Amino acid sequence: MRPHRAFVPIIQPEVELGGREAHHLLDVLRARVGDTLTVFDGKGTEGRARVVQTEPGWVRLQVEETWPASKEPPHPVSLYVALLKGDHLAEVVRAATELGASTIVPILTQHCVVREISENKLLRLRRIALEAAKQCERSVVPEVKPLLPLKLLPPVSQGLVAQPRTSARVREVWDPQKPTALLTGPEGGLSDDEIQLLEERGFTPITLGPRILRAETAPVALLSLVTAGEGL
Protein backbone atom coordinates (compact mmCIF):
# COMPACT_ATOMS: atom_id res chain seq x y z
CA MET A 1 0.00 0.00 0.00
CA ARG A 2 1.34 3.43 -0.95
CA PRO A 3 1.96 5.87 1.91
CA HIS A 4 -0.44 8.79 2.16
CA ARG A 5 0.72 12.07 0.64
CA ALA A 6 0.21 15.56 2.01
CA PHE A 7 1.07 18.96 0.58
CA VAL A 8 2.95 21.37 2.84
CA PRO A 9 4.04 24.86 1.70
CA ILE A 10 7.39 24.54 3.52
CA ILE A 11 9.05 21.31 4.63
CA GLN A 12 10.63 21.80 8.05
CA PRO A 13 11.34 19.51 11.05
CA GLU A 14 7.80 19.96 12.41
CA VAL A 15 4.77 20.78 10.28
CA GLU A 16 1.27 21.67 11.38
CA LEU A 17 -1.62 21.10 8.99
CA GLY A 18 -5.14 22.46 9.10
CA GLY A 19 -7.97 23.04 6.65
CA ARG A 20 -8.36 20.73 3.64
CA GLU A 21 -5.11 18.82 4.19
CA ALA A 22 -5.93 17.98 7.81
CA HIS A 23 -9.49 17.02 6.88
CA HIS A 24 -8.26 14.74 4.12
CA LEU A 25 -5.73 13.01 6.36
CA LEU A 26 -7.99 12.60 9.38
CA ASP A 27 -11.48 12.12 7.96
CA VAL A 28 -10.81 10.57 4.55
CA LEU A 29 -7.57 8.62 4.96
CA ARG A 30 -8.11 7.94 8.68
CA ALA A 31 -4.51 8.79 9.58
CA ARG A 32 -3.63 8.31 13.25
CA VAL A 33 -0.70 9.05 15.57
CA GLY A 34 2.27 6.92 14.55
CA ASP A 35 1.31 6.66 10.87
CA THR A 36 3.93 7.62 8.29
CA LEU A 37 3.26 9.58 5.13
CA THR A 38 4.99 11.42 2.33
CA VAL A 39 5.00 15.21 2.32
CA PHE A 40 5.86 17.40 -0.66
CA ASP A 41 6.17 21.16 -1.13
CA GLY A 42 5.00 21.45 -4.75
CA LYS A 43 8.43 22.75 -5.79
CA GLY A 44 10.37 19.50 -6.12
CA THR A 45 11.15 18.35 -2.58
CA GLU A 46 9.61 15.37 -0.80
CA GLY A 47 10.00 13.94 2.69
CA ARG A 48 8.93 11.17 5.03
CA ALA A 49 6.90 12.33 8.01
CA ARG A 50 5.23 10.75 11.01
CA VAL A 51 1.96 11.84 12.60
CA VAL A 52 2.79 12.86 16.19
CA GLN A 53 -0.39 14.65 17.32
CA THR A 54 -3.95 15.11 16.10
CA GLU A 55 -6.91 17.24 17.12
CA PRO A 56 -10.20 17.81 15.27
CA GLY A 57 -9.21 19.68 12.09
CA TRP A 58 -5.50 19.78 12.98
CA VAL A 59 -2.46 17.51 12.55
CA ARG A 60 1.16 17.82 13.65
CA LEU A 61 3.83 15.98 11.67
CA GLN A 62 7.46 15.28 12.42
CA VAL A 63 9.57 15.21 9.25
CA GLU A 64 12.22 12.48 9.45
CA GLU A 65 13.89 12.68 6.05
CA THR A 66 13.77 14.82 2.89
CA TRP A 67 15.02 14.33 -0.67
CA PRO A 68 14.79 16.00 -4.10
CA ALA A 69 12.22 14.21 -6.24
CA SER A 70 12.96 13.26 -9.84
CA LYS A 71 9.64 12.60 -11.57
CA GLU A 72 9.53 15.72 -13.72
CA PRO A 73 10.28 15.99 -17.47
CA PRO A 74 13.86 17.19 -18.05
CA HIS A 75 12.58 20.42 -19.64
CA PRO A 76 9.43 22.42 -18.85
CA VAL A 77 6.29 21.66 -20.83
CA SER A 78 3.70 24.45 -20.87
CA LEU A 79 0.14 23.75 -21.98
CA TYR A 80 -1.99 26.54 -23.44
CA VAL A 81 -5.59 25.39 -23.71
CA ALA A 82 -8.57 27.37 -24.98
CA LEU A 83 -11.48 27.95 -22.63
CA LEU A 84 -13.90 25.04 -22.86
CA LYS A 85 -17.58 24.60 -22.10
CA GLY A 86 -18.89 22.94 -18.96
CA ASP A 87 -16.35 21.26 -16.71
CA HIS A 88 -14.04 20.12 -19.49
CA LEU A 89 -11.22 22.46 -18.47
CA ALA A 90 -11.11 20.78 -15.06
CA GLU A 91 -10.73 17.41 -16.78
CA VAL A 92 -7.85 18.76 -18.85
CA VAL A 93 -6.09 20.23 -15.80
CA ARG A 94 -6.31 16.91 -13.97
CA ALA A 95 -4.94 14.92 -16.91
CA ALA A 96 -2.27 17.52 -17.73
CA THR A 97 -0.99 17.36 -14.15
CA GLU A 98 -0.73 13.57 -14.37
CA LEU A 99 1.11 13.86 -17.71
CA GLY A 100 3.77 16.25 -16.41
CA ALA A 101 2.77 19.73 -17.57
CA SER A 102 4.72 22.39 -15.68
CA THR A 103 2.34 25.25 -16.46
CA ILE A 104 -1.29 25.31 -17.62
CA VAL A 105 -2.59 28.52 -19.19
CA PRO A 106 -6.25 29.01 -20.20
CA ILE A 107 -6.40 31.13 -23.36
CA LEU A 108 -9.14 33.15 -25.02
CA THR A 109 -9.46 32.65 -28.77
CA GLN A 110 -11.82 33.89 -31.46
CA HIS A 111 -14.17 30.90 -31.41
CA CYS A 112 -14.31 30.27 -27.66
CA VAL A 113 -17.91 29.84 -26.55
CA VAL A 114 -16.94 30.63 -22.97
CA ARG A 115 -15.39 34.12 -22.78
CA GLU A 116 -14.22 34.45 -19.18
CA ILE A 117 -13.15 32.49 -16.15
CA SER A 118 -14.13 33.48 -12.63
CA GLU A 119 -11.70 33.74 -9.75
CA ASN A 120 -13.53 30.93 -7.98
CA LYS A 121 -13.18 28.64 -10.97
CA LEU A 122 -9.49 29.48 -11.28
CA LEU A 123 -8.98 28.62 -7.62
CA ARG A 124 -10.86 25.34 -8.16
CA LEU A 125 -8.60 24.47 -11.10
CA ARG A 126 -5.57 25.06 -8.89
CA ARG A 127 -7.01 22.79 -6.21
CA ILE A 128 -7.60 20.12 -8.85
CA ALA A 129 -3.95 20.41 -9.96
CA LEU A 130 -2.83 19.97 -6.35
CA GLU A 131 -5.05 16.94 -5.77
CA ALA A 132 -3.93 15.38 -9.05
CA ALA A 133 -0.27 15.94 -8.11
CA LYS A 134 -0.85 14.09 -4.84
CA GLN A 135 -2.61 11.21 -6.59
CA CYS A 136 0.03 10.69 -9.29
CA GLU A 137 2.98 11.21 -6.91
CA ARG A 138 4.32 14.34 -8.53
CA SER A 139 6.45 16.55 -6.33
CA VAL A 140 5.77 19.69 -8.39
CA VAL A 141 2.30 21.19 -8.66
CA PRO A 142 1.80 22.81 -12.08
CA GLU A 143 0.90 26.47 -11.98
CA VAL A 144 -2.56 27.25 -13.38
CA LYS A 145 -2.32 30.80 -14.64
CA PRO A 146 -5.04 33.41 -15.21
CA LEU A 147 -6.82 33.69 -18.55
CA LEU A 148 -4.60 34.97 -21.38
CA PRO A 149 -5.94 36.40 -24.66
CA LEU A 150 -4.26 34.63 -27.55
CA LYS A 151 -2.94 37.90 -28.99
CA LEU A 152 -0.91 38.43 -25.80
CA LEU A 153 0.75 35.01 -25.91
CA PRO A 154 4.55 35.52 -25.71
CA PRO A 155 7.00 34.13 -28.26
CA VAL A 156 8.28 30.63 -27.45
CA SER A 157 11.51 28.84 -28.29
CA GLN A 158 9.60 25.73 -29.36
CA GLY A 159 5.86 25.45 -29.76
CA LEU A 160 3.43 22.88 -31.17
CA VAL A 161 -0.18 23.69 -32.02
CA ALA A 162 -2.68 20.96 -32.88
CA GLN A 163 -4.38 21.73 -36.18
CA PRO A 164 -6.62 19.42 -38.25
CA ARG A 165 -5.63 18.68 -41.84
CA THR A 166 -1.96 19.32 -41.13
CA SER A 167 0.64 16.73 -42.15
CA ALA A 168 3.59 17.36 -39.80
CA ARG A 169 3.88 14.87 -36.93
CA VAL A 170 5.17 15.65 -33.46
CA ARG A 171 8.18 13.35 -33.74
CA GLU A 172 9.23 15.04 -36.99
CA VAL A 173 9.49 18.56 -35.59
CA TRP A 174 9.83 18.27 -31.79
CA ASP A 175 13.18 18.53 -30.00
CA PRO A 176 12.90 16.91 -26.52
CA GLN A 177 16.03 18.77 -25.41
CA LYS A 178 14.24 22.13 -25.42
CA PRO A 179 11.44 23.63 -23.31
CA THR A 180 8.15 23.03 -25.09
CA ALA A 181 4.90 24.99 -25.38
CA LEU A 182 1.78 23.12 -26.51
CA LEU A 183 -1.48 24.72 -27.62
CA THR A 184 -4.94 23.48 -28.54
CA GLY A 185 -8.01 25.39 -29.62
CA PRO A 186 -11.68 25.55 -28.57
CA GLU A 187 -14.71 23.64 -29.82
CA GLY A 188 -14.87 25.87 -32.91
CA GLY A 189 -11.17 25.52 -33.70
CA LEU A 190 -8.54 28.14 -34.40
CA SER A 191 -8.93 30.62 -37.24
CA ASP A 192 -6.40 30.99 -40.07
CA ASP A 193 -5.35 34.35 -38.63
CA GLU A 194 -4.75 32.77 -35.24
CA ILE A 195 -2.62 30.01 -36.75
CA GLN A 196 -0.59 32.64 -38.58
CA LEU A 197 -0.10 34.57 -35.33
CA LEU A 198 1.01 31.41 -33.55
CA GLU A 199 3.51 30.59 -36.27
CA GLU A 200 4.96 34.08 -35.87
CA ARG A 201 5.29 33.39 -32.12
CA GLY A 202 7.25 30.15 -32.64
CA PHE A 203 4.52 27.48 -32.94
CA THR A 204 4.49 24.73 -35.58
CA PRO A 205 1.12 23.26 -36.63
CA ILE A 206 1.07 19.48 -36.16
CA THR A 207 -1.41 16.69 -36.73
CA LEU A 208 -3.05 14.46 -34.13
CA GLY A 209 -4.27 12.04 -36.77
CA PRO A 210 -6.94 12.01 -39.49
CA ARG A 211 -9.85 12.17 -37.04
CA ILE A 212 -11.25 15.37 -35.53
CA LEU A 213 -10.71 15.24 -31.77
CA ARG A 214 -12.94 16.94 -29.26
CA ALA A 215 -11.52 20.11 -27.74
CA GLU A 216 -11.04 18.40 -24.37
CA THR A 217 -9.34 15.37 -25.96
CA ALA A 218 -6.79 17.25 -28.09
CA PRO A 219 -4.70 18.75 -25.24
CA VAL A 220 -4.43 15.39 -23.51
CA ALA A 221 -3.45 13.65 -26.76
CA LEU A 222 -0.84 16.27 -27.62
CA LEU A 223 0.67 16.30 -24.14
CA SER A 224 0.77 12.50 -24.10
CA LEU A 225 2.91 12.47 -27.22
CA VAL A 226 5.66 14.58 -25.66
CA THR A 227 5.66 13.15 -22.12
CA ALA A 228 4.08 9.70 -21.71
CA GLY A 229 4.99 8.75 -25.26
CA GLU A 230 8.65 9.45 -24.53
CA GLY A 231 8.62 8.03 -21.01
CA LEU A 232 9.05 11.51 -19.49
Question: What pLDDT digit, counting tens, does each position of 84-96 carry?
Answer: 999 999 999 999 9
C-alpha torsion sign, points 53, 54, 55, 60: positive
Question: What pLDDT digit, counting tens, does each position of 165-213 carry?
Answer: 899 999 999 999 999 999 999 999 999 999 999 999 999 999 999 999 9
Residue whose C-alpha is closest to residue 223's, from 182, 185, 173? 182
3-state SS, residue 93: helix
Whole-angstrom distance, CA of residue 199 vs CA of residue 69: 35
Residue whose C-alpha is closest to residue 129's, from 98, 166, 87, 174? 98
At residue 3, the pLDDT reads 72
C-alpha distances in Å from residue 129, one per residue of 11, 84, 115, 189, 203: 20, 17, 22, 25, 25
Contacts of 192 (CB under 8 A, 6+ apart): none
Whole-angstrom distance, CA of residue 126 vs CA of residue 146: 10
pTM over cut 0.85: yes
Domains and CATH numbers, the chain: 4-68 (2.40.240.20), 77-230 (3.40.1280.10)
Beta strands in the chain (DSSP E): 4-7, 14-17, 36-40, 45-55, 58-68, 77-82, 103-108, 143-144, 148-149, 159-162, 180-184, 203-206
Whole-angstrom distance, CA of residue 185 vs CA of residue 97: 19
Q: Which among 42-46, 164-168, 181-185, 225-229 has the top mean pLDDT? A: 181-185
Whole-angstrom distance, CA of residue 93 vs CA of residue 129: 6
At residue 198, the pLDDT reads 98
**In the chain, % of residues over pLDDT 90:** 86
pLDDT: which is higher, 184 or 27: 184
